[in-house]
Structure 1
């Protein structure tokens, strides 16, 4: 058993008599035989970027470490003043045509657990493996790599999540009450309440695109300008997260299939929760929104220090 796995077992209170089941060699070998994506160095498209991220991740030791699903995801994108936003971010901002963005990502995390360990570890993780999340994220780069940085994260998970996230990853977790109504095909709303303030939003669907429609709905094709497509790719297709823990910069990999989303009309009825993230929130303006029914397979990795 690796030292990292041993520390996680201590954190989760796994009895010693069961720890021999965690990280069995045959499980590692069977997963390592996953076929490499075709043409990982191909043109910069949504599909090839996801494929490259998958290829890069399986080459890393112990990866993927975590498995989960993301359900009923709403993205609300804000355009912020680059200078004000940079003051709140320890990494260099990644700009789109000299514009800086912050995205509010409201979703439900489902069945998060380590890849290794089988049914026992999955059962142990069940009490804290499913909960609602609100991520307040911006877009950064570190050298030639691009990713996201979390300005704040709000969740209604048990105490272990608030211990493990900041301690293992340097994630800025905050306790909150989250109520989401994302299941309707036409209307969406949510409320996040924390000590720092409240976020209330609502939205309506503009039309279902890219084949992402639930049973019983009609697919509606909408023309999308090239600039809008490029911005959508910039905001959604990110496969690294950068964090700072105890003054040390680091990152962890994420992989999933390319997002299948539809545009929605959204409005913020209360955004006081964002003020604690920095002065950028005072002048930020709504830039667009998306909805996705979610992803069935998401991989997340261990945190690693950056090379700088």
Structure 2
């Protein structure tokens, strides 16, 4: 459920969201996490690595008349910090140099500059990203998603709800930080995903998970983001 203490600092819309989730052994995830975090598993007891991409539309601070829009792509897993559950970001790639710089400097988020395109055709929605950030491992993603039906909220308690309904996130940069988002439940639909290239796993030190991903598409939701606070020292 959304954090009741959430205070909106930024507003935006997340459009054309691609969710691709690979099940993975929790023992693979655990060594990659800060000590303060534990692997969270879904209803079937599996850990997951997820590639999630979308277009961030009209992102703006509270009361600002000017917004920015750009695609984002992230690699994440699912974690617990005490009684709180959320996602842990290994990286967030974005096609907006100013926003990347602000996110890295002010909010300590692991954002990286990337060249990205999101285009729609008869085949579906194609999401392309190539990381161009200096001093970090390059990463590429090129896939087309084809929704397979009308979108509706995930069944509460289902694996799909575990994977898409997350309102808290964690990032680590010597210390552990926590942030919150708020939005209505995602309206999602199963989808076909044709992947041409995906080096996000290797760029973050993972072997590519075996098997096919569980894939969902969401047309979009209005979202607010709250403050980011430090929750652990000296990781």
Report the TM-score, using the length of structure 2 for normalisation.
Answer: 0.86
Q: Which has the higher strand share?
A: 2
Residue 303 of structure 1 and its aligned partner are, at CA, apart by 0.8
Q: Confirm whether residue 106 of structure 1 aligns to residue 53 of structure 2.
A: yes
Tell me the residue number matched to 2:175: 248
Query: Equivalent of 2:91, from 152, 155, 164?
Result: 152
Q: Which has the higher helix share?
A: 1
Instruction: Report 1:1-308 matches (<5 A).
Output: 49-50=1-2, 53=3, 55-57=4-6, 63-90=7-34, 91-96=37-42, 97-115=44-62, 118=63, 121-123=64-66, 126=67, 129-158=68-97, 160-181=98-119, 183=120, 187-195=124-132, 196-210=138-152, 230-245=158-173, 247-279=174-206, 281-295=207-221, 297-306=222-231
Instruction: Give the conservation status (yes or no) of the 8 Å contact 2:75–2:200.
Output: no
Runs of at least 4 residues off by over 4 Å: 183-186
Instruction: Give the conservation status (yes or no) of the 8 Å contact 2:151–2:218.
Output: no
Q: Which moved more, 1:171-180 or 1:195-204?
A: 195-204
SS at match of 1:56: coil
Residue 132 of structure 1 and its aligned partner are, at CA, apart by 0.8
CA RMSD between the two structures: 2.3
Structure 1 unaligned spans of 5+: 1-48, 58-62, 212-223
Larger radius of gyration: 1
Instruction: Give the conservation status (yes or no) of the 8 Å contact 1:85–1:278.
Output: no
SS at match of 2:92: strand
Structure 2 unaligned spans of 5+: 133-137
Label 1:149 to 1:111 Cα distance change in 2 as closer, same or farther (>3 A).
same
* Residues in 2 aligned to 1:274 and 1:162: alpha-carbon distance in whole angstroms: 21
Instruction: Give the conservation status (yes or no) of the 8 Å contact 1:186–1:205.
Output: no
